[in-house]
Chains A and B, each alone.
Chain A
């Protein structure tokens, strides 16, 4: 008992045994391969198929009779072997059935990707065939430059996109530089047929490369379902955004070329925030995430222009999986980098202070010692780096003034930093260079701190608190403006108005005795209040006074201030 299938061969319906069907299909496929390169190969194949259908039709007496393997085999025997159909039986013969170019002996090599011996896409084995070198060397080469520079990956992707895959037997022969004729084709086809017969197709299933290849296939399959939608979205998005961004970038680059040394930015990153490896990984990830859409975009453009075929599915899947790999790489390295900022540590030191002779301590900001070499200050509005600098300075130093518990001046310095753990964070915190000098009544505090070369920036900052006893004063030098931050005082004077004055600590807080402080001339928005259901606008408050009085309310208006007292 055998399973049968119904097929349409050359326009006639046949019931055919499954085994026979497989044999017929394999035969026709082999003929197709052998004929590749022939002009009108499709037509020839159609003729052969119709003729075989006729033969079956002749042998079958009854409409319900089934075509068996025996019939298929005898039809194949009558038709002849694929090599015979393709023409030449003997490579030494000068007679060529077809005068067309492809079947003429060409031993010039062509560069293809080899689908039979691939790890990822067959680029390396194709290069190996072309140059007659073991593909292993190319694989090592690509892995090496991928690890060292990362640009190797882009090169590989480009090659994988540009190089055609050797699909037909003729192309595989051209790839290996063997002459394309019937006998070589036959030997390849027979080899492949044998491979199928033994239950293993070449290139998949054998050894190390096979495993990797299978792994990539599996990976591609896994990601494709989830990512298809995202891919479309991203491509659409990038097509639009990229064209805008590229133009903007180009213009910006032109404008900035003479002004900003762009090359310094990576220096800052690599010296300060990231290790060289982290920077490289990040650049690779960025290269993949941006590069693949750009390459695909250009391919799409070129395709439009030259009316080329769409990229084969395998290439698109590879590009997609590499792209997702890039995104994951970016995420992982981002998470890794963020890990350096996971924990905060604070190291607080009591700075010994000599009590001033007078009641007033003069507070000034200490300029960075220019003799210590070149230096750079990085703060919110100043961002530049000198490569020769032995330290890079950060302006994140803030000073607060509070009431002292005792009757002496005190100064605490808190070094704060982040790190991957508590220990590293405090090590990062204490690595800063910050100077505090006292000279008699003059206390000078550095408004910036330095990070010695080789120390990474982990969000270091310095918080200083100056404790002033009640009754004593601080003179804030004009230079201290960059130092003080949000100092509480009785008159609510802003930081920017505090320097240049003497501030005295009173039991209420810090006051500037006898100062004519600038009024807070904030016009502000008109005030609107609602009392007992009546809306009162500050601009028109007079109109409402009568109403409000009637409700036992007393309202006094002084300038823009309104005092409201309830009657009881």
Chain B
């Protein structure tokens, strides 16, 4: 992996958790729904990475899931945010906004100089 790819991957990973929590906040979803969103946003390349992340968030108490019947197969896990998860996501959101501002200010000021 070359340095560029490495940095890009790190950037994506940094925001992945926030993105997943945000998707779940919009309503109960099951992993494939999350994957559709993430794939559309090109945040996730392979699906396998999602499951360890979901399990960890669940173990941290930010997520909960319920089993729901599906028309096309066995029951599926539907994830939703716990109250802690909602709070956590809100804090992340404000952090993200600060970060966007910070990045914008930094990049604009440096581009002006050059």
Point out the residues of chain B lying under 8 angstroms from A12, CB to CB.
73-74
B29-56 Cβ-contact flags toward A at 8 Å (1 or 0): 0011000000000000111110111111
Point out the residues of chain A lying under 8 angstroms from B31, CB to CB.
47, 51
B107: Cβ under 8 A from any A Cβ: no
Using CB atoms, name the residue of chain A closest to B56. A98
A77, A79, A81 — most chain B CB neighbours (10 Å): A79
Give the interface segment out of A82-90, A215-223, A552-560.
A82-90
A24-61 Cβ-contact flags toward B at 8 Å (1 or 0): 00000001000100111001100110110110010000
Point out the residues of chain A lying under 8 angstroms from B45, CB to CB.
80
Within 8 A of B (CB), among A401-460: none
B59: Cβ under 8 A from any A Cβ: yes
Interface residues on B, range: 20 to 34
Point out the residues of chain A lying under 8 angstroms from B25, CB to CB.
none
Kindly identify which residue among A11, A80, A93 contacts B47, using a CB–CB cutoff of 8 Å.
Answer: A80
Instruction: Flag if B56 contacts A31 (CB, 8 Å).
Output: no
B9, B52, B58, B75 — most chain A CB neighbours (10 Å): B52
Question: Shortest distance in angstroms between A195's beta carbon and chain B's nearest beta carbon?
Answer: 23
A95: Cβ under 8 A from any B Cβ: yes
Instruction: Flag if B49 contacts A87 (CB, 8 Å).
Output: yes
Instruction: Flag if B55 contacts A93 (CB, 8 Å).
Output: no
Kindly identify which residue among B14, B46, B55 contacts A84, using a CB–CB cutoff of 8 Å.
Answer: B46
Within 8 A of A (CB), among B3-41: 6, 9-10, 13-14, 31-32
A144-163 Cβ-contact flags toward B at 8 Å (1 or 0): 00000000000000000000
Instruction: Flag if B59 contacts A31 (CB, 8 Å).
Output: no
Question: Shortest distance in angstroms between B10's beta carbon and chain A's nearest beta carbon?
Answer: 6
Point out the residues of chain B lying under 8 angstroms from A35, CB to CB.
52
Using CB atoms, name the residue of chain A closest to B39. A78
A546: Cβ under 8 A from any B Cβ: no
If A79-B47, A90-B6, A95-B10 touch, does A51 touch B55 (CB 8 Å cutoff)? no
Point out the residues of chain A lying under 8 angstroms from B6, CB to CB.
90, 92-93
Instruction: Flag if A51 contacts B53 (CB, 8 Å).
Output: no
Point out the residues of chain B lying under 8 angstroms from A81, CB to CB.
46, 48
Instruction: Flag if A78 contacts B55 (CB, 8 Å).
Output: no
Question: Shortest distance in angstroms between A516's beta carbon and chain B's nearest beta carbon?
Answer: 106
A97: Cβ under 8 A from any B Cβ: yes
A10: Cβ under 8 A from any B Cβ: yes
* Total inter-chain residue pairs, C-beta < 8 Å: 80
Count of residues in A whose CB is under 8 Å from the partner chain: 33
B14, B45, B51 — most chain A CB neighbours (10 Å): B51
Cα(A10)–Cα(B6), bound, Å: 34
If A11-B73, A50-B74, A84-B46 touch, does A90 touch B1 (CB 8 Å cutoff)? yes
Instruction: Flag if A39 contacts B55 (CB, 8 Å).
Output: yes
Instruction: Flag if B73 contacts A57 (CB, 8 Å).
Output: yes
Point out the residues of chain A lying under 8 angstroms from B48, CB to CB.
31, 48, 79-81, 84-85
Instruction: Flag if A47 contacts B55 (CB, 8 Å).
Output: yes
B94: Cβ under 8 A from any A Cβ: no
Within 8 A of A (CB), among B60-90: 72-77
If A93-B6, A93-B10 touch, does A54 touch B73 (CB 8 Å cutoff)? yes
Using CB atoms, name the residue of chain B closest to A86. B52
Using CB atoms, name the residue of chain A closest to B13. A95
Instruction: Flag if A87 contacts B52 (CB, 8 Å).
Output: yes
Point out the residues of chain B lying under 8 angstroms from A38, CB to CB.
52, 55
Question: Shortest distance in angstroms between A84's beta carbon and chain B's nearest beta carbon?
Answer: 5
Question: Shortest distance in angstroms between B80's beta carbon and chain A's nearest beta carbon?
Answer: 16
Instruction: Flag if B46 contacts A78 (CB, 8 Å).
Output: yes
Cα(A57)–Cα(B54), bound, Å: 23
Cα(A57)–Cα(B74), bound, Å: 11
Cα(A323)–Cα(B36), bound, Å: 61
If A12-B74, A39-B59, A90-B1 touch, does A80 touch B49 (CB 8 Å cutoff)? yes
Cα(A50)–Cα(B70), bound, Å: 13
Question: Shortest distance in angstroms between B55's beta carbon and chain A's nearest beta carbon?
Answer: 4
Instruction: Flag if A89 contacts B74 (CB, 8 Å).
Output: no
Cα(A249)–Cα(B92), bound, Å: 72
Cα(A81)–Cα(B49), bound, Å: 9
If A39-B56, A93-B6 touch, does A51 touch B73 (CB 8 Å cutoff)? no
Kindly identify which residue among B9, B14, B77 contacts A89, using a CB–CB cutoff of 8 Å.
Answer: B9
Point out the residues of chain A lying under 8 angstroms from B13, CB to CB.
95
Instruction: Flag if A89 contacts B56 (CB, 8 Å).
Output: no
If A35-B52, A85-B48, A93-B10 touch, does A47 touch B73 (CB 8 Å cutoff)? no
Point out the residues of chain A lying under 8 angstroms from B10, CB to CB.
93, 95
Cα(A90)–Cα(B5), bound, Å: 11
Question: Shortest distance in angstroms between B6's beta carbon and chain A's nearest beta carbon?
Answer: 6
Point out the residues of chain A lying under 8 angstroms from B47, CB to CB.
51, 78-80
Cα(A287)–Cα(B77), bound, Å: 58
What residues of chain A have their CB less than 8 Å away from a CB belonging to chain B? Answer: 10-12, 31, 35, 38-40, 43-44, 47-48, 50-51, 53-54, 57, 77-81, 84-87, 89-90, 92-93, 95, 97-98
What residues of chain B have their CB less than 8 Å away from a CB belonging to chain A? Answer: 1, 6, 9-10, 13-14, 31-32, 45-49, 51-56, 58-59, 72-77
A-B residue pairs in contact (CB < 8 Å), sample of 17: A11-B74, A43-B55, A44-B52, A48-B48, A51-B31, A51-B32, A53-B73, A54-B73, A57-B73, A78-B46, A80-B47, A81-B46, A81-B48, A85-B51, A90-B9, A97-B53, A97-B56
Question: Closest 4 A-B residue pairs measured CB to CB?
Answer: A80-B46, A11-B74, A85-B48, A80-B48
